[in-house]
């Protein structure tokens, strides 16, 4: 095992509004204090009663998916918590992941694509 699933992140135009929608659907706490993330206008979280964390990330010029139109596919990414970011980096590259952005997280996370091109992040915990 390389990592633990930390949260599922959905792109959206209004993070707080989408967090409130999912809170009404699932229960839980919006923007609960959590050292893993800073919430704000561009990022909101929902800690569900079952322990799953959903995060909502603001995207400029957001274009929602059109089901089942492949020209506008589903949009999300997974965050995986890892104890050793450098070791996990080597392991996912060996599994055929592609590094997309090593600098966005100021050393606390890195962005990759899985072999099919879906983005995911390794996040130091």
> Which residue would you say has higher pLDDT here, 107 or 92?
92
Cα–Cα distance for residue pair 50/19, rounded to 1 Å: 16
- Is a pLDDT exceeding 80 seen at residue 105? no
CATH number at residue 79: 3.10.180.10
| Residues linked to residue 123 through DSSP beta bridges, in sequence order | 81, 109
Give how many domains the chain has, as a whole number. 1
Say how far apart CA 68 and CA 33 lie, in whole Å. Answer: 36
> What residues does 98 pair with on adjacent strands?
113
pLDDT at 123 over 90: yes
Q: What pTM was estimated for this model as a whole?
A: 0.82
* Domain of residue 14, residue span: 4-124
User: Does the pLDDT of residue 94 top 90, yes or no?
Assistant: yes
**Spatial separation of the C-alpha atoms in residues 61 and 5, rounded to whole Å:** 28
Residue 94 CA to residue 78 CA, distance in Å, equals 19
**Rounded distance between C-alpha atoms, residue 39 and residue 30, angstroms:** 10
């Amino acid at each position: 095992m390389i990592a633990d699933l930390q949260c599922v992140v959905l792109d959206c135009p209004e993070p707080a509004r989408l967090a409130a929608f999912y809170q009404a659907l699932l229960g839980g706490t919006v923007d609960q204090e959590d050292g893993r993330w800073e919430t704000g206008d561009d990022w909101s979280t929902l800690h569900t009663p079952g322990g799953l964390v959903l995060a909502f990330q603001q995207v400029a010029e957001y274009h929602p998916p059109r089901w089942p139109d492949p020209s506008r596919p589903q949009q999300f990414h997974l965050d995986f918590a890892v104890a050793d970011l450098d070791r996990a980096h080597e392991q996912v590259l060996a599994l055929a992941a592609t590094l997309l952005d090593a600098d966005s997280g100021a050393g606390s996370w890195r962005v990759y694509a899985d072999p099919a091109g879906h983005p995911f992040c390794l996040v130091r915990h």
